Amino acid sequence: MTDGSGREIDYLRISLTDKCNLRCEYCMPKEGIRHLEHKEVLSLEEFVRIAGILSELGIKRVRLTGGEPLVKKGLTDLVRMLHHISPGLDICMTTNGSLLSGFAHGLKIAGLRSVNVSLDTLDPVTFKTITGSDDLKSVLDGIGSAVDEGFEVRLNSVILRGINEDDVIPLTEYASKTGVDLRFIELMPIGCGVRFEGIPSDELVKILEDRYGISQEVDSDSIGTGRGPAVYRRFAGYPGRIGFISPLSHGFCERCNRIRLTSAGFLKLCLEHPDGIDLKSSLRSGAGDDEIKEMIRQAILRKPAAHRFAAGGSAEDDRKMVQIGG
């Protein structure tokens, strides 16, 4: 499946819910949001049907997100159903990790392959400031459970100026000790994110080089990271590798291979742009698979060539990140 810019689209991110048990300040407003009613959210069978259609169109990887996907009732069943679509479908999940220890074993058996855990700090006070929760221990326990189950585990960290800058080195040390990859993600000016200042990747590289010595970029193909947006670097005095996802300072739109399905059944073509198609209405009005396939093909041709984020700017889509999907 190729878009209008000639890019192969083979990666689908599915937001299963707009609900989350944490209140990260750059993701959800303190007052919360109006959550979708049950009837507005796709059923498990509808998620699977759309994923199956997209798999036939060339989607090879599905990442389950939220909100927080682990609060979605029937998550393990959904993973099992997705796995049965095609044994070769790469099923992954991004989570805040707080509920992961109770789900890791079942998800592994169901067919989940890898887990990305959002972790911005190892300090309980800072964790409470960012997430509104004082249960950092549950997140760390979840990471440990995922490692023990044999998942490929990555940590995703967003560094905010004046809030968790001091966590850069503790996070890298923790990742090394735990045996997982760490990726630093630049804050995107979406929703609540516009109220904070993120730290550019180049500045983080300098902090890390001051601690661990000179670094060099690692060829992604040689370390099996696929066609994702992360650029990995190895530092002279650090035993692992550290990734950087830099949508603002080092844009990667020219190699974007993803689309997003919201919990309300809207196929979103670009994180910034509001354009897309309402697949839920088509499903529920009786459209056949071939008709939906053609709708998707035509929509993919309209996928924007690039976002128009600017440092300190805002996105065209004014929904909060928890509503779009992480």
CA 223 to chain centre: 20
The DSSP secondary structure of 199-221, one letter per residue, reads: --HHHHHHHHHHHH--EEEE-GG
Q: Say how far apart CA 124 and CA 137 lie, in whole Å.
A: 9
pLDDT tens track for 101-137: 999 999 999 999 999 999 999 999 999 999 999 999 9
CB atoms under 10 Å from CB of 177, counted, come to 10
3-class secondary-structure state, position 139: helix
Residue 60 is given by DSSP the state -
pLDDT band at 311 (very low <50, low <70, confident <90, very high): very low
Q: Which of 169, 114, 119 is nearest to 139 (CA)?
A: 119
Supply the Cα-derived Rg of the chain in whole angstroms. Answer: 19
From the list 112, 104, 95, 90, the residue with the least C-alpha distance to 147 is 104
* pLDDT surpassing 50 at residue 313: no
Cα–Cα nearest to 127, from 153, 100, 97, 154: 97
Domains of the chain: 11-324 (3.20.20.70)
> Which residues are bridge partners to 247 per DSSP?
none
pLDDT in tens, 161-181: 999 999 999 999 999 999 999
Residue type for position 50: I
* Residue 316 binned pLDDT confidence (cut-offs 50, 70, 90): low
